[in-house]
Amino acid sequence: MPQTTSLSPLLEDVLRRNAGEPEFHQAAREVFDSLGPVIAAHPRYAEASVLERLSEPERQIIFRVPWTDDRGHVHINRGFRVEFNSALGPYKGGLRFHPTVTLGTVKFLGFEQIFKNALTGLPIGGGKGGSDFDPKGKSDAEVMRFCQSFMTELYRHIGEYTDVPAGDIGVGGREIGYMFGQYKRITNRYESGVLTGKGVGWGGSLVRTEATGFGAVVFAERMLATRGRSFDGARVLVSGSGNVAIYAIQKVQQLGGTVVACSDSTGAVYDEDGLDLDLLRRVKEQDRGRLSDYAAARGTASVYRPGGDIWALAAETHIDVAIPCATQNELDGDAAATLVNNGVIAVVEGANMPSTPEAVRVFSSGGILFAPGKAANAGGVATSALEMQQNASRDAWTFDYAEHRLAEIMVGIHDRCAETAEEYGSPGDYVLGANIAGFVRVADAMIALGVI
C-alpha cells in the first residue's frame, strides 16, 4: 500500500486565504484529498512548494462591464478572468455568463481547468472567466453590446500566446463571434488563435461544438468496457439541455443507447422511448427555447415535469448510465443514492463538478463507475487546443479527422487516469487517477521552470 502525506495544514491555509468561496474550497479539497500518496512518494513536490503555488492564481482580473439595453437603460455587470497557471502553455479555459457567477465560481473552474488541461497532454495552461451577466431574455443587440463592452477590457489581458478564452455556460458561438469581432477591431489583428469555439467559416474547428458531449461519451464507453458493458441497448439520463447535453445525447444515440430524459433549470422532460434529438436541437439551438416548448411540440411522447428532479427518474424506470451536463452541485447525496440503489452502473460528469462531495462518496461506496468532469469533459478544451493548432498552421481539418483526434485524446485520458489510480493503489478510482495524473504533469513543468 503506498504511503500518504496529510495535506490538511496546506488545505486549511488555502481555505483561510480564500474565505467565502465555497465552490473553490470544494474543488481544492477534492484535489488535496487525492494527492497524499504522490506527495509522499516524491519529496520534490513538497520541497518546491508546488501545491502552495498551484492553489494561488498567477493573476486575477476583475472589471466593470457597462452596457446599454434596447430601451437606453445603462446596466453594470462584473467581469472576471482568473489566469491560474501557465506552466504548460497559455492560460486556457472558457467564459461563463450566468447571474450566479462570482470570483469564487471562476476560481473553482480555473483550478479544475489546470488539471483537466494537463490531462489532455496538450500545451495549455489553466484559466477561466466570465460575468454575472444573464443572457436569458436579452435581444441579440443587447448581447452584442455586452460582449463588446466585456472585450473592451478583456482584450488587453488575452492573446494567442497569453490567454485563450472560449465558451462555457451562456457563452456559445454567438457570443464568441461578437467578442472576436471586438477584439479584431480594437487590435486591428486577425488573431484567430485568441479565442476558440469560433464559427467554422471564420477560424473555428469542426467538432468543437460537439466535442465536450462527444468526448464524455467516448470516455464513458471506454470506462464501461472495463466491466464488459457498452452503450448498446443502455438507457441513459442526461441532465441539462445545452451544448454539452445535446452532443452527449447525440453520441449515446449513435452508439445504440436510448436517452430518456434531459432537463433545464426549470424542469425535466421524460420520453419513455427516447428523446427526439432533431426537435430538441431545433427548440434549443435554433429558437433559443425552453424544454417546456420541446415537450409541447413533442405531444404525448413526452412528459414535462416542471421543476422536476431528473435523477429521481431512476427510481421509476430502469437506467444504466447517468451523465450530468448542467452545472455544479446539481447531483446531491440523495440523488446519488437513488441512482446507486436502482442499479445505475456508471455516472459520467459532462459538467464541471456536478456531483456534491457526498454524492461522490455514495458512488464510491456503491462500487459504481464514476468519471469526474476534469477527465470526462476534457474533450471540449482538447478540441479547443486542436482549433489553436489549426489556426497557427492556417489549416482546417475535416470533421472525421478532428473527431478521430478527439477520440484518441479521450481514450488516452481514460487510460492515464486508470493506470495512475492503479499505480497509487486505488484501482478504479478515476478521481484519484485524474487528480494525480494531471498534477504530476503540471507540477513537473513548474519545477522545471523555477520559482516563478
CA angle 442, 444, 445 (to 5 degrees): 65
Contacts for 400 with CB less than 8 Å, ≥ 6 apart: none
Question: Of the two residues 360 and 446, which places its CB atom closer to ligand NDP in the complex?
Answer: 360
Which residue among 209, 352, 355, 420 contacts ligand 2IT (CB under 6 A)?
352
User: Of 167, 177, 193, 204, which one interacts with ligand NDP (CB under 6 A)?
Assistant: 167
Residue 284 a catalytic site member:
no
Q: In the block, which residue shows the cell 513548474?
A: 446
Q: In the complex, what is the shortest distance from the CB of residue 424 to ligand 2IT, in angstroms, rounded to a whole number?
A: 25
**Which entry of ligand NDP, ligand 2IT, none binds 193, CB below 5 to 8 A by partner kind?**
none
User: Applying CB under 6 A, which part among 23-31, 229-237, 239-247, 385-393 lies near ligand NDP?
Assistant: 239-247
Task: Work out what residue 438 binds among ligand NDP, ligand 2IT, none; the CB cut-off runs from 5 to 8 Å by kind.
Answer: none
Judged by CB under 6 A, does residue 93 bind ligand 2IT?
yes
With contacts defined by CB under 6 A, how many residues of the chain interact with ligand NDP?
23
Q: Which of 92, 107, 128, 251 is catalytic?
A: 128
Q: Smallest distance from the beta carbon of 449 to ligand 2IT, in angstroms?
A: 22
384 binds ligand 2IT (CB under 6 A): yes
Q: What is the rounded CA–CA span in Å between residue 48 and residue 124?
A: 22
Q: Which residue's Cβ lies closest to ligand NDP?
A: 242
Pick the closer one to ligand 2IT by CB: 192 or 426.
192
* 323 grid coordinates: 451523465
Residue 413, interface with ligand NDP (CB under 6 A)?
Answer: no
How far is 110 from 104, CA to CA, in rounded Å?
Answer: 10
x/- track of binding to ligand NDP for residues 203-222 (CB under 6 A):
---------x----------
The option from ligand 2IT, ligand NDP, none interacting with 3 (CB < 5 to 8 A, set by class) reads none
If binding is defined by CB under 6 A, does position 49 make contact with ligand NDP?
A: no
Q: Shortest Cβ contact with ligand 2IT: which residue?
A: 94
Instruction: Rule CB under 6 A: choose which of 89, 90, 94, 170 binds ligand 2IT.
Output: 94
Nearest to 183 by CA among 196, 172, 170, 171: 196
In the complex, the smallest distance separating the C-beta of residue 335 from ligand NDP, rounded to whole angstroms, is 13
Work out whether the CA dihedral 225, 230, 231, 236 comes out positive or negative. negative
Unique residue bearing C-alpha cell 469564487? 104
Q: By C-beta, is 11 or 378 nearer to ligand 2IT? A: 378
Interaction partner, residue 196 (ligand 2IT, ligand NDP, none; CB < 5-8 Å by kind): ligand 2IT
Residue 196 binding ligand 2IT, by CB under 6 A = yes
| Interactions with ligand NDP, residue window 259-298 (CB under 6 A) | 264-266
Known catalytic residues? 128
Residue numbers at the binding site for ligand NDP (CB under 6 A): 167-170, 212, 240-245, 264-266, 325-327, 330, 350-352, 377, 380
Residue numbers at the binding site for ligand 2IT (CB under 6 A): 92-94, 113, 116, 166, 168, 196, 352, 380-381, 384
